[in-house]
Copies of this chain bind each other. A is one copy, B any other.
Amino acid sequence: MEIGKILYPHVSVDCVLLGFSENEFKVLLTHIDDREIEKTRKLPGSLIYKNEDLDEAAQRILTESTGVKKVALKQFKCFGSPKRTENEKDVKWLEKTTDVKADRIITVAYLSLCKLNTRLLALEKNQTVSWCSIDELPNLPFDHEQIVVEAIREVRNWVDQDNSIVFEFLPAKFTALDLRRVYEAIYNKVYDVRNFKKKMKSLEYIVPLEEKQQNVAHRAAQYFRFDRVKYNKLHSSLNY
């Protein structure tokens, strides 16, 4: 957190940053590493500044924890139960790190998706963050577990509204299998290879590349890329 700005101690923003690797979603957790408090992890998040917009705060938090500047970011729910700060350990940590006397805090949760490239994976080496499989979440402070659960549900919702965000999970070039695995994870079902490929072929904005995989222990797969411009042309509309 930057110094010299005044915190607004009643509202925080928490970010669920999801990546996809090894056929499952991973969520970014930051480490709380304080000698007086038992080692634990939490969602990246912070109190907002007195004059900071919520979207700005979410962007700031993501940048602080990953270095990423521009990402698709979606506010998905506000969590405001008075009970969310009833665990003393959580509050103690909060007051220690922020120097703020916290009674009740409403938090606004954001969802963001990313490709787990080498740079983002390398963040783990600093030991300040880790990518945690959503099936093996540790105990999290406050209501962060609930926030993650609702975020996963929200991914599907988001894709329903805008297919193009699935490509946030993928690198610039990807194979049909890569895309299929993402869809299978999101909708929790398996897709027929041929039907899936046929569907891909019918979508102009999924552009096949000449390039193929190299050094794979099987027939090399073709790469594709997502064409944002073509996508936007197809989905621009005067209705809403």
The stretch from A76-84, A120-128, A174-182, A223-231 touching chain B is A76-84
Q: Are A240 and B153 in contact (CB under 8 A)?
A: yes
Interface residues on A, range: 20 to 34
Q: How far is the CA of A161 from the CA of B82 in the complex (A)?
A: 28
Q: How far is the CA of A239 from the CA of B50 in the complex (A)?
A: 42
Q: How far is the CA of A111 from the CA of B161 in the complex (A)?
A: 19
- Say yes or no: is A108 at the interface (Cβ < 8 Å to chain B): yes
Number of copies: 2
Q: Are B53 and A81 in contact (CB under 8 A)?
A: yes
- Say yes or no: is A52 at the interface (Cβ < 8 Å to chain B): yes
Which of B8, B53, B157, B188 is within 8 Å of A161, CB to CB? Answer: B157
- Closest 4 A/B residue pairs (Cβ): A10-B10, A78-B78, A54-B80, A78-B108
> Given A11-B10, A106-B11: A188 and B82 within 8 A (CB)?
no
Tell me what chain A mostly uses at the interface: helix, strand, loop, or mixed: mixed
Q: Are B82 and A51 in contact (CB under 8 A)?
A: yes
> Within the complex, what minimum Cβ distance (angstroms) separates A73 from chain B?
14
Chain B residue at minimal CB-CB distance from A53? B81
Across the interface, which residues of B come within 8 angstroms of A157, CB to CB?
Answer: 161
Q: How far is the CA of A204 from the CA of B53 in the complex (A)?
A: 47
